[in-house]
Amino acid sequence: MTFEFGPFELDVPGRVVTCARREVQLQPRVFDLLVYLLESRGRVVSKDELLDAIWPNVTVTDNSLQRAVSGLRAMLRQGGLESAIRNLPGKGYRLFVDLGPAPSRQVAATNGRVISGALGAARLAASRQEWKRSAELFESADAENAIGEGGELDCWALALQCAGKPAAAIPVLVRAVAAHSAAANCREAAADALALAGLYLERGEDAPGNGWLARAEDWASKLQDPATTGLLLWTKSKMAAFAGNPEQALALAEKAYVATRDKGALRVEALTLAFRGFYRLSLGDTAGGFADQDHAATLALSSNVDPITGGTLYCNILWASRMFGDWARAEQWTLGYQRFCTDTHMELSGSCQLHRSEVLGVRGSLEEALLRIQDAVTRIVDDAPWALGDAHRILGDVHAAIGNEAAAFEAYDKAYALGWCPEPGHAMLLLETGDAEAAYASLERSLIGRTWWTLQRHGILLAHLALVAAHTGRHEKAAALIQDLTGSSDRWPMPSIRALTNEANAVLALAHEDRDLAARYLHLARQLWSSVDSRANVARLRLQIAGLQLSSTDMRGAMTEIRAARLLAEELRSHKLQDACDALHDRILLAEGSRAIVSRQPAWHAG
């Protein structure tokens, strides 16, 4: 037997459900619940009947049924039909759907009625993940006063967010809360209130965010629903993190995960697990944090989460990878997120454009990175203005890599003015331009405080501080920092941090005039940067190695390194690196010319 309703198709013998021709993963009890409600679609089914039918000969509580219903709602939400399952207080549940072929015209089914016109077309477009068109059609339907139910407003808000317009979703969600509240749908009202709290948090508007959080908590207190409880605790954890209390954020995320684990709320379970990992990373549990985030990502992918949840997960994991300087991991998840956006037809968010820009600045094209940053800034002004400082920090890094020193310093100054730490890029540019003491002072200041930003970047900042300390003659300080970083391999296993400590060791070796040891450290650093495909740093290290070989009269070895560095500089389109290649090449030609002149002079002249 096969059921078709809206964008869904249910193959009962094969136990397969698809939405818009994509398979949806369901837990066995949730699948059984869907089949039973479809077979009983013309009537209200009591809780006792459902418990007997879905869990025969097993003693379970109402909570088991509520978890299954929550899982079914999550599945229906993917096709814009989350309100099709209704809880009739004191009576039971009923599924309101029309069976038949999936709609091919601008008609949609919801809550037992057929909808045509702009509203039907909007629902149909949403089921096909045509988010921009769906949002436009919902706006047309609203102009005709055709939208009234909370589920329709939820679908409109989803379309707006997936189309890259989260700010526009706020007033729609406010109306959805009112509609759900009037219909006594506490669970849906709480979910929308929490979505509003999250959107306001991203905008840096704490007051309305806290207000919606409090309202959601009122509704959640009336429910015994793991998904709602988990979402509430998860949102509170984000509030705590933004307020600079990572320990409290971790405790709340842990409670959220415990509340949802194995309760059929896979979407919320994945979110809480990812953010628990994020906070564990901030507090120094690197292995545990990354393990949590990998687990969360695979959990979400296996349960076919909605686009908003998937975007939130990817963005969180990408952010952590960037903060730790784990560029290989950042690239892997960036590509994964791009595939996810393509599959779900979701617009890349401004924040994730920033992530991609930074990855490109280290591994790809600097010109493309600049274009993406400009696009990201236009998006995050409304959606996530708190990230503007980060955008200017990344802009400074890219300009510095290209060789635009004035533009880089201007961007770093803007980042700092917006309350964002521009390190370590700012300090490295100061070191490069001859102001090593200012570089050291800037890095020391960047380590003050306990914000999640500072805590997550602690290792990479310390590694840069070790390098600058070595350059400024603070050899004991540099050695102590290197020992702390290399002695905590479980906490700082990232190749970028190990590469920087090897660079610092090379500077210390040169201070003791041990060129051979310095060369070994530089080669190790170059290999580590290569392992994460950090092309800008690989080119920089190759030029340092070439300079060392040139001073040792190893002209052939120096030319080999320069040629390799030049290829990378051309790929990156960095005129700074290209100029450095030219300068070293000219030194080699000059040195070879001097040697030739000396070799042609008569012996008496040489003496």
Bridge partners of 109, per DSSP, are: 114
CATH 1.25.40.10 maps onto the chain at 115-224
Instruction: Give kind and range of the element (H or E) at residue 431.
Output: helix 425-432
Arch. (CATH architecture) of 1-102: Orthogonal Bundle (1.10)
Average pLDDT over residues 27-34: 86
Q: Residue 101: what pLDDT?
A: 42
If pLDDT is split at 50, 70 and 90, which confidence band does 606 have? Answer: very low
Nearest-10 Cα torsion for 514, 515, 521, 524: -150
**d(C-alpha 323, C-alpha 421), whole Å:** 12
Counting Cα atoms < 13 Å in the Cβ hemisphere of 431 gives 20
Most confident of 138-147, 449-458, 473-482: 473-482
DSSP state of 149: S
Q: Shortest CA distance to 285 belongs to which of 459, 417, 518?
A: 459
Q: Residue 339: what pLDDT?
A: 74
Q: What percent of the chain has pLDDT over 90?
A: 39
Give the tens place of pLDDT for each residue, 446-474: 998 777 677 778 889 999 999 999 999 99
What length does the chain have? 607
Average pLDDT over residues 48-58: 84
CATH 1.10.10.10 maps onto the chain at 1-102
CA 533 to the chain's CA centroid: 20
CA 584 to the chain's CA centroid: 40
| pLDDT at residue 115 is higher than 60 | no
Phi first, then psi: give them for residue 211, nearest 5 degrees: -65, -45
- What pTM, to 2 d.p., does this model score? 0.69
Q: Residue 564: what pLDDT?
A: 95
| pLDDT at residue 113 is higher than 50 | no
Q: Residue 473: what pLDDT?
A: 95
Q: Is the peptide bond before 226 cis (omega within 30 degrees of 0)?
A: no
Lowest mean pLDDT among 87-91, 197-201, 331-335: 331-335
More confident residue, 245 or 78: 245
Say which amino acid occupies 575: H
Token duo for residue 298: 């695979």
Average pLDDT over residues 106-127: 63
Lowest mean pLDDT among 92-96, 302-306, 471-475, 536-540: 302-306
**d(C-alpha 425, C-alpha 419), whole Å:** 16
Average pLDDT of the chain to the nearest whole number: 84
Give the tens place of pLDDT for each residue, 202-261: 888 889 999 999 999 999 888 888 889 999 999 999 999 888 888 999 999 999 999 998
If pLDDT is split at 50, 70 and 90, which confidence band does 105 have? Answer: very low
CATH class of 115-224: mainly alpha
Q: What angle do CA 223, 224, 225 make, to 5 degrees?
A: 95
| pLDDT at residue 112 is higher than 60 | no
If pLDDT is split at 50, 70 and 90, which confidence band does 274 have? Answer: very high
Nearest-10 Cα torsion for 333, 337, 343, 346: 180
**d(C-alpha 169, C-alpha 344), whole Å:** 18
Most confident of 100-114, 252-266, 325-339, 430-444: 430-444
Residues 146, 133, 198, 235, CA torsion sign: positive
Q: Residue 125: what pLDDT?
A: 83
More confident residue, 518 or 91: 518
If pLDDT is split at 50, 70 and 90, which confidence band does 364 have? Answer: low
Lowest mean pLDDT among 91-105, 106-120, 436-450: 106-120
**d(C-alpha 411, C-alpha 391), whole Å:** 9
Q: Residue 605: what pLDDT?
A: 42
Q: Is the peptide bond before 56 cis (omega within 30 degrees of 0)?
A: no
